[in-house]
């Protein structure tokens, strides 16, 4: 992400600007950050996951979004663009430009964003009461890290690799094959 000049922008102004912008910006407490383009492996993995999840949630009342839908963290005054996001909350049908009640958020890692995705962004996402699972997908090797909120509110990590053959997303009762997730990805 690339920071904008230090000019405060109100959330409503950001949403209006973003609707007409040719590039995407994430919004953090009044400041916008331009998002860089993604590499082939990143886009392929996100697309593969979207295709798998879309078929899985069809007819369930849940919706899956890819790349262009914002996640709103109202308590922290943030808007992020997760690579993949699933919401099963009817309240999210009221906001066509962003979603506030996701149960699953997935970030596909890249060199420029990995530290932020693992650190501050994950900390921000943890404040979403409806979020049950946060998933990080590696683009350099077959590795899926699922952070799940347990009954005590703690985030517990379960990792999946090629040796596991499959991975589970418990928040939406999905089981997929690692090979399908990484189909057409060249390391």
Residue 74 lies inside a defined structural domain of this protein: yes
Residue 100 lies inside a defined structural domain of this protein: yes
Domain check: are 57 and 79 in the same one? yes
pLDDT digits (tens, 9 = 90+) for 81-127: 999 999 999 999 999 999 999 999 999 999 989 999 999 999 999 99
Please state, for a pLDDT cut of 90, what percent of the chain lies above it.
91
Q: Is the pLDDT confidence value at 6 over 90?
A: no
Pairing of strands 143-149, 155-161: antiparallel
Domain check: are 61 and 119 in the same one? yes
Domain check: are 172 and 82 in the same one? yes
Domain check: are 30 and 52 in the same one? no
Query: Once rounded to an integer, what is the mean pLDDT over residues 144-164?
Result: 97
pLDDT of residue 2: 45
Domain check: are 31 and 92 in the same one? no
Residue 86 lies inside a defined structural domain of this protein: yes
Q: How do the residues of the chain divide into helix, strand and coil, expressed in percent and rounded to 5?
A: 30, 35, 35
pLDDT digits (tens, 9 = 90+) for 44-89: 999 999 999 999 999 999 999 998 999 999 999 999 999 999 999 9
| Residue 16, domain extent | 1-36
CA 82 to chain centre: 3
Residue 14 lies inside a defined structural domain of this protein: yes
Q: What is the average pLDDT score of the chain? A: 95
Query: Once rounded to an integer, what is the mean pLDDT over residues 125-135?
Result: 98
Query: Once rounded to an integer, what is the mean pLDDT over residues 115-144?
Result: 98
Which residue, 23, 14, 46, 40, is CA-closest to 187? 40
Residue 99 lies inside a defined structural domain of this protein: yes
pLDDT digits (tens, 9 = 90+) for 17-49: 999 999 999 999 999 999 988 899 999 999 999
What backbone torsions phi and psi does residue 108 show, to the nearest 5 degrees?
Answer: -90, 125
Whether the CA torsion 126, 175, 65, 117 is positive or negative: it is positive
Placement of tokens 């992400």 in the chain: 1
Instruction: Please give the tally of structural domains in the chain.
Output: 2
Alpha-helical segments (H) within 10-148: 11-20, 40-57, 114-118, 120-125
Q: How many other β-carbons are positioned within 10 Å of the β-carbon of residue 140?
A: 11
Domain check: are 4 and 74 in the same one? no
Interacting residues of 127 by C-beta distance below 8 A, sequence separation 6+: 73, 75, 76
Which residue, 187, 147, 142, 148, is CA-closest to 166? 142
Domain check: are 55 and 108 in the same one? yes
Residue 102 lies inside a defined structural domain of this protein: yes
Whole-angstrom distance, CA of residue 153 vs CA of residue 140? 31
């Amino acid at each position: 992400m690339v920071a904008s000049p230090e000019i405060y922008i109100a959330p409503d102004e950001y949403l209006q600007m973003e609707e007409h912008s040719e590039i995407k910006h994430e919004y953090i407490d009044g400041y916008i950050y331009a998002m860089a383009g993604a590499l082939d492996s990143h886009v392929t993995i996100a697309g593969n996951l979207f295709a798998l999840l879309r078929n899985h949630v069809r007819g369930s009342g849940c919706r899956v979004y890819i790349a262009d839908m914002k996640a709103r963290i109202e308590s922290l005054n943030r808007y992020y663009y997760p690579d993949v996001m699933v919401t099963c909350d009817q309240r999210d049908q009221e906001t066509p430009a962003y979603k506030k009640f996701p149960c699953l958020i997935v970030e596909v890692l890249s060199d420029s964003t990995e530290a932020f995705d693992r650190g501050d962004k994950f900390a921000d996402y943890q404040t979403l009461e409806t979020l049950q699972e946060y998933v990080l997908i590696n683009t350099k090797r077959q590795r899926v890290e699922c952070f799940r909120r347990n009954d005590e509110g703690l985030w517990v990590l379960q990792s999946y690799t090629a040796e596991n053959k499959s991975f589970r997303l418990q928040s939406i009762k999905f089981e997929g094959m690692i090979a399908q997730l990484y189909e057409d990805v060249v390391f």
